Amino acid sequence: MNHVRQISKVVSLKEALSHIKRGTSLMYGGFGGIGSPPSIIEALLQMKVSQLDLIGNDAGFPNIGIGRLISEGRARSLLTSHIGSNPNAGRLMTENKLDVTFFPQGTLAEKIRAGGMGLGGILVDVGLGTMAEEGREKVEIQNKTYLIEEALTAEVAIVYAKQADEYGNLVFDKSARNFNPLVAMAADVTIVEAEQIVPNGELDPENIVTPGVFVDYIVQSEGVNWQWMWE
């Protein structure tokens, strides 16, 4: 190859996480902890960062994924679809220490995608006739009723990828993809924890899921440091 781009976004965990402070709005990838970035979450625990406004699919498990931060009381709010697998989240919500807002899972995913794609929101009919329509504006299009759901963005997103090149092109791993490519697009600062970091040009452009333009920082993963429920 006669023209290898030298651009590299690979940094230390410390440098990347300097963007996350008390009160930061933080989107995270992961579904029941699968695909949540373990080394970043561990570092956030060490940093004692608190009052986070979290946005993500679920509350993880008490000692798995984003659940580790929630269990430690590091979040003040959570936009999500499910907290049933983390009883600590339910307890903090009941004690009014965690402000939880629920959305149907597909709607939440699409709201984040809309934020990442530069749209103002989406029209969706999922949740009509349920609590999910409360407080939502409605609109009629071609004789069908839809809820207006605003797009979501955040200050920082934390992402787990199987492979990243130094520019930030990303490839994910099976069911660890879930919300990762969505939150990667929707934040002002996107921090990726990659299992493997490769030189630019190593990944097949045809197979890249998230283009590097969305990525600001890449850190090397130290691997999952929690025990799965099935282990």
The residue among 110 and 165 lying less far from other proteins, judged by its C-beta, is 110
- What b/e sequence results for 40-75 when a residue is b if at least 16 CB atoms lie within 10 Å of its CB, and e otherwise? bbbbbeeeebeebbbbbbbbbbeebbbbbbbbeebb
**Contact flag: residue 127 with other proteins (CB under 8 A):** yes
Q: How far is the CB of 114 from other proteins (least distance, A)?
A: 10
Q: Which residue from 96, 131, 140, 205 is in contact with other proteins, where contact means CB under 8 A? A: 131
Q: How far is the CB of 197 from other proteins (least distance, A)?
A: 18
Cβ burial 5-28 (10 Å sphere, 16+ → b, else e): eeeebbbebeebbebbeeebbbbb
Considering only residues 47, 93, 198, 208, which one is a binding residue for other proteins as defined by CB under 8 A? 93
Residues 153-192 that bind other proteins (CB under 8 A): 162, 172-182
Considering only CA atoms, which of 145, 148, 140, 144 is closest in space to residue 111? 148
Residue (49 or 159) nearer to other proteins, CB = 159
Residue linked to tokens 């990243």: 164
Structure tokens at 94: 């009941």
- Which of 20, 33, 157, 170 contacts other proteins by CB under 8 A? 33
CB nearer other proteins, residue 11 or residue 53: 53
